Chains A and B, each alone.
Chain A
């Protein structure tokens, strides 16, 4: 596990390269799990707590979640230019790939068969997502209220398919009330 120098020293090129790596690794899915692995575990640019709150922020705000996350990380490390570098890194190569596939599709009426390969890869992408829940949960779920909040969010989202804004309107007030620190400098 390599640690970078203090975050503001991260070069724009390294930011772009990092998000390019994330995008290419996530062939078949698992983009947020890959983002966490690279940003938190490999680069050490964020803690798990900040990553989770950033993810929630990125889900609530308009825009594609993973693009938003790249903007968040880029902004944090290098300001507006960092945000642009991170997004360009995330989408440059995928845009090229998608354009080639689109060209082939409109020319031939189909794309090269990748369906069987994808069946396997998607299964692992789902596993990465579950493993991410496990790894972050091992740190954040250390009390009964935390478990209840987590289970309620899962049930509302996956089982009852409640839209995100509604779900947050139900769960977030309870979560904030539970987590409100006694003193301004109290650490969680």
Chain B
């Protein structure tokens, strides 16, 4: 299906498909944006034929590498489906439904501070949250770090960040240069 990407015009049908797909994905994305990637892939590739599976894989990698949340994958899929307008529609549709829920729950949560159950949740779930943070580090390391040099860099940087107040940007810059030079 040929689409004029980059063009501002988008057919009403495509616009509705974009809003429906990503609006639904927004509500289904419990546990983070990555949980609905398989569903988005199925719809965008097999149902709507906006792009090929290989292109979807490449867009996923681009969204991971670019700054900001990796759910901006939907911006790229929307862009392929309906140009810049499609990209913006997809982004808003992916954020708005879940965002309204988060806003309402956040207000309720904040207004209940001091209640026993609030104190218990804040105190009891802190160790759980820390376990989850460490787990996400381990999971990312397992999928992205393939060389001993990378693991050594992670270990050294972890020590430096734990022991000093050094701005992490210095380490990020140094690591980027090391990568560019082929050292890791």
What residues make up the interface of A, taking CB atoms closer than 8 Å to B?
23-34, 37, 49-50, 52-68, 71-72, 75-76, 80, 83, 87, 90-91, 93-95, 97-99, 101-103, 105-106, 111, 114, 116-137, 140-141, 146-147, 149-154, 157-158, 163-165, 168, 171-172, 175-181, 184-188
CB distance from A137 to the nearest CB of B (A): 5
* Least CB separation from A136: chain B residue: B130
Q: Which residues of A contact B27 (CB under 8 A)?
A: 62
- A-B contacts at CB below 8 angstroms, number: 353
Q: Which residues of B contact A102 (CB under 8 A)?
A: 59, 62, 75-76, 79-80, 87
* Least CB separation from B131: chain A residue: A153
Interchain CA distance A101-B58 in the complex, whole Å: 11
Find out whether the CB atom of A63 lies under 8 angstroms from the CB atom of B72. no
Interface of A is mostly: helix
What residues make up the interface of B, taking CB atoms closer than 8 Å to A?
5-6, 26-33, 58-59, 62-63, 65-72, 75-76, 79-80, 84, 87-88, 91, 94-95, 97-99, 101-103, 105-107, 109-110, 114-117, 119-141, 144-145, 147, 150-151, 153-158, 160-162, 168-169, 171-172, 174-180, 182-184
Find out whether the CB atom of B29 lies under 8 angstroms from the CB atom of A64. yes
Q: What are 22 A-to-B residue pairs whose CB atoms are below 8 Å?
A: A28-B172, A33-B168, A53-B109, A61-B30, A62-B98, A90-B68, A94-B66, A95-B91, A98-B68, A98-B72, A106-B80, A117-B179, A122-B140, A124-B171, A127-B155, A127-B156, A149-B127, A153-B128, A153-B131, A154-B132, A171-B128, A179-B123
